[in-house]
Amino acid sequence: MRKNKEFSSTSSSRYSLALYELAHETNLLIKIEEQSLKILKLIHSSIDFSNLIKNPTSMQQELLNVINKIAEQYKFESLLKNFLNLLINKKRFFYLEQILKKFIEICSQKRGELKAEFRSAKNLSSEEIAKITNDLSKNFKSKIKLNYKHDKSLIGGLIVQVGSIMVDTSIKNKLQQIQNKMMEI
């Protein structure tokens, strides 16, 4: 199993990098990134599409027909359409989600963006999130790509993680620390 997992990660990274290089060379990087995000959104919003991708018994011609219809509907660049067809023909379509996520990561890294995770107990407005993103960008002297989640389980406070740096001011964490100290006694 481990060998198979390594293979999927390695091959996904190679396909992602190949897509990035092709999109960059043809000056279609922004369009391909936007269209890749649309595919990822479709995977997460459509159970049928997600199951079709992950079903190892899906017929190659059926997958090609579906992708061609989606490409036509969303007006995908021929580069992306051909790339998706290549994945189907090489029997790598099962890794589509991994490949596209890695492709988006590569695009972000090449733009010099840092990835940040942010969770708060309070539901924040888009203005508050934008301010936090700006503050983090200033502190880290880099563009920040913020992934925000509202998390009621924190009770109060927030958790911010940028790279290996993590700040956890949540009440949930403080209660956990108190519980751990009490168990030591």
Mean pLDDT for the chain overall: 90
Hey, what CATH topology would domain 2-109 get? Peroxidase; domain 1 (1.10.520)
| Domain ranges within the chain, ordered by starting residue | 2-109, 113-184
Per-residue pLDDT reduced to its tens digit, 59-75: 999 999 999 999 999 99
Per-residue pLDDT reduced to its tens digit, 26-40: 999 999 999 999 999
- In the three-class reduction of DSSP (H, G, I as helix; E, B as strand; rest coil), residue 120 is classed as strand
* β partners of residue 159: 119, 168
- 7: pLDDT confidence band, cut at 50, 70 and 90? low
Per-residue pLDDT reduced to its tens digit, 83-117: 999 999 999 998 999 999 999 999 998 998 888 89
| DSSP structural state of residue 163 | T
Given a cut of 60, whether residue 5 has pLDDT beyond it is: no
Question: Quick one: pLDDT at residue 3?
Answer: 47
- 1: pLDDT confidence band, cut at 50, 70 and 90? very low
Is residue 39 a contact partner of residue 96, using CB atoms and an 8 Å limit? Answer: yes
Give the contacts of 122 (CB within 8 A, at least 6 positions apart).
Answer: 150, 156
Confidence (pTM): 0.73
Q: In what order do the strands lie in the sheet with 158-162?
A: 143-150, 113-120, 158-162, 165-168
